Amino acid sequence: MKGGAALKIYLDGKLVPEKKAMVSVFDHGLLYGDGVFEGIRAYNGRVFKLEEHIDRLFRSAKAIDLEIPMTHAAMCSALLATCRANRMRDGYIRLVVTRGVGNLGLNPYTCKKPGIIIIASKIQLYPKELYERGMRMVTSGTLRNHTEALSPNIKSLNYLNNILAKIEAINAGVYEVVMLNQQGFVAEATGDNIFIVTGNRLRTPPISAGALEGVTRNTVMCLAREIGMDVAEEVLTRYDLYTADEVFLTGTAAEIISVVDIDRRVIGSGKPGPRSRALGARFHEYAGSTGAPIYARGGKAG
């Protein structure tokens, strides 16, 4: 991706120029959001938590009865090859599996072959200055999908629930919202998990509340335990957010970002707190030194 070179996209077994990376208008991923995806990070020439992401992709596919026509190992190899083709060392990878081409009806079994797309590029969800000063949030009026209507553990291509909440955020002049579930408990943000810090206690909503089991979420929980924090999943209310010492969000694209104001309630000191800053530093140190190598030993991008 150096020098403004055009991206090469993995599309159904071939690397093609981005302008030629096209899908059919009859692909059910386009027509109905029928498919699954993963967002994955690369740091210092390594793909972070590659196995965990690919495992989750296959679990999502199984949950919607979508048979991916590749093995786990072949998918990992294709992803790494796409990173190499784009000379990636640091960036964001979007891996998509669509139901494939079918007819105009809902029946997924008219789609004979799933489509596989891998994009190795970059992403920036929030301005850099927000990582220094923290972000503001409001509570969304759009509730998180009921867990028995669409499991939060399925990373499906249908993100309309999240998009409607994101529209509310933009209209309110903020970058993110708190999404609640049908019982009024905290679920997550539009694309990130939510954590609160109270003293030495770190809490995040359970999956049953409507939260995705995020790869970054799980990593942060492990890192917090390593520094002696009391970590647990716990049902949270907005009161818990308002009165916490610190609040922060985690996600593959977002990484770790502090929240300093929710619904015009100042969180803690109104600045990113010491626990979230410490966890952010540990996360970047860990992410930058582990993962699946993109290049052979001694190899380099470009």
Rounded to 5 degrees, what angle do the CA atoms 108, 114, 14 make?
Answer: 160
- Three-state DSSP class for residue 171: helix
**Topology of 2-122 in CATH?**
D-amino Acid Aminotransferase; Chain A, domain 1 (3.30.470)
Q: Which of 155, 158, 156, 176 is nearest to 167 (CA)?
A: 176
Residue 190 tokens read as 């539009």
Q: What is the mean pLDDT of each run of 10 residues along the chain (302 residues)?
A: 77 97 97 98 98 98 98 98 98 98 97 98 93 97 95 95 98 98 97 97 96 96 98 98 98 97 98 97 96 78 52
Note the pLDDT of residue 5: 77
* Residue-level pLDDT at 301: 57
Residue 32 sits at φ, ψ, to 5 deg, of -135, 5
Q: What per-residue confidence (pLDDT) applies to 4?
A: 61
CB 139 within 8 A of CB 262: yes
Strands 246-251 vs 230-233: parallel, antiparallel or unpaired: unpaired
Q: For residue 137, which of 238, 251, 260 has the smallest C-alpha distance?
A: 260
pTM to 2 decimal places: 0.94
pLDDT (0 to 100) of residue 170: 98
What are the residue ranges spanned by the domains of the chain?
2-122, 128-287
Residues known to be catalytic: 155
| Predicted local confidence at residue 133, as pLDDT | 97
- In CATH, what number does 128-287 get? 3.20.10.10
Concatenate the DSSP letters of all residues of 15-32 into one string.
Answer: EEEGGG----TTBHHHHH
> For the chain, how many residues are written?
302
- Amino acid in the structure at residue 295: Y
Cβ neighbours, 10 Å, residue 129? 9
Three-class SS state of 292: strand
How many Å apart are CA 272 and CA 267, to the nearest integer?
9
Please state, as a whole number, how many other Cβ atoms lie within 10 Å of the Cβ of residue 73.
10
